Amino acid sequence: MSQAPAPSPELPAEDERVEIERVAVEVSMAAARLLVDERPHDLGVDTTKSSRSDVVTVMDLRSQDLIMERIAAARPHDAVFGEERGGVDGTGAVTWVVDPIDGTVNYLYDIPAYAVSVAAVVGDPRVPGGFTAFVGVVVNPVTGEIFRARSGGGAWSGRPGRADERVLAAPGPDLGLALVGTGFGYAAERRRWQARVLGDLLPRVRDIRREGGAALDLCHVATGRLDAFYETGLNPWDLAAAWVVAREAGVVVGGLDGPETPGPDLTWAAGPALAGPFSAAVIEATRAHRGV
Ligand code: IPD
């Protein structure tokens, strides 16, 4: 029998959250510069993970190392949980959840739709539903666009040379007029049923986009570039930072069990008016094809 996740510990106080957000912005921007400035001309695949299309480049590793070094210098008691190299244990309550490149395949092909994603959470990020993300920063290194949020502080976006702007999500259109982002896992068997879920949804919405980076997709729901997003198989590092941005912007983020339950089984996001009909359609299609 699966055990219920332990309740998350309390969030750090506001002044500590502000400081953690400052560190998250600094390390994400530094990693973003590294990815652009030091991208090798002959960038290739370093290793593969769940399938031969699930790739790691040398720059994923360098970006992760840089982020871990800077977090260790600024916040030596915190734990780090990252997509590459696992992570380090801490002695305090805060864990950093790091994706050094979200959208690695786009980075490999030099498609400018990838991100550095850095979150701070309390609880256990390894357990779905076992953690609360309270700071999130997502940076697109190519455009320099940054999305940042902390619990209670709102969501903000910024671009080089421009003042930061508050991000407030729109309620969302009717389901039939919704522009929906999604993504697919790397394993062939999962892709087979993900295609069937997509087949159910496509006739019911305005159109589908598959940009290739879940963190940016979720931020784009916050800014209105997408009306909604869903995917099965997201890892905590794909999700944690953008979840804070979306939540603070007023986007409803949920999973198979409804709002506030995103995780590997299903993550969906939409503005408050669209969230009900969209989540019903996505949950129904996912349960039908995945058998959960
Ligand atoms: C991937 C991207 C992609 C999503 C995959 C993720 P990665 O992250 O976010 O859009 O569809 O599920 O694994 O592997 O590039 O960090």
Q: For the domain that residue 257 is a member of, what is the CATH number? A: 3.40.190.80
CA-to-CA distance for 205 and 201, rounded, in angstroms? Answer: 7
Query: Quick check: is 131 in a domain?
Result: yes
Residue 118 domain-assigned (yes or no): yes
Residues with CB under 6 A from ligand 1: 83, 99, 102-104, 183-185, 212-214, 231, 233-234, 238
The whole-angstrom separation of Cα 6 and Cα 131 is: 9
pLDDT value, residue 4: 52
Domain that holds residue 103: 14-167
pTM score, two decimals? Answer: 0.95
Q: Which atom of ligand 1 is nearest to the CA of 217?
A: 10
Number of domains in the chain: 2
Q: Identify the domain boundary among 150, 167, 184.
A: 167
Characterize the bridge pairing of strands 47-48 and 79-82: unpaired
pLDDT of residue 1: 37
Separation of CA 73 and ligand 1 centre (Å) = 28
Place of tokens 């969209």: 278
Query: Left if phi > 0, otherwise alpha if psi is -120 to 50, otherwise beta: which for 156?
Result: beta
Residue 2 included in any domain: no
pLDDT at residue number 5:
54
Q: Tell me the CA–centroid distance for residue 13 and ligand 1, in Å.
A: 32
Contact 180, 229 (CB under 8 A): yes
Cα(103) to centroid of ligand 1, in Å? 5
Q: How far is the CA of 214 from the centre of ligand 1 (A)?
A: 6
Look at residue 8 and tell me if it is in a domain: no
pLDDT of residue 111: 97
Which pair of structure tokens corresponds to residue 108? 């490999």
CATH (domain of 54): 3.30.540.10
Q: Where a domain ends, among 148, 167, 186?
A: 167
In this structure, the residue with its CA closest to atom 11 of ligand 1 is 183
Sequential pLDDT tens for the chain (292 residues): 344 555 557 999 999 999 999 999 999 999 999 999 999 998 888 888 888 887 888 999 999 999 999 999 999 999 999 988 888 999 999 999 999 999 999 999 999 999 999 999 999 999 989 999 999 999 999 999 999 999 999 999 999 899 999 999 999 999 999 999 999 999 999 999 999 999 999 999 999 999 999 999 999 999 999 999 999 999 999 999 999 999 999 999 999 999 999 999 999 999 999 999 999 999 999 999 997 6
Nearest to 147 by CA among 118, 176, 122: 118
Is 95 found in the same domain as 195? no
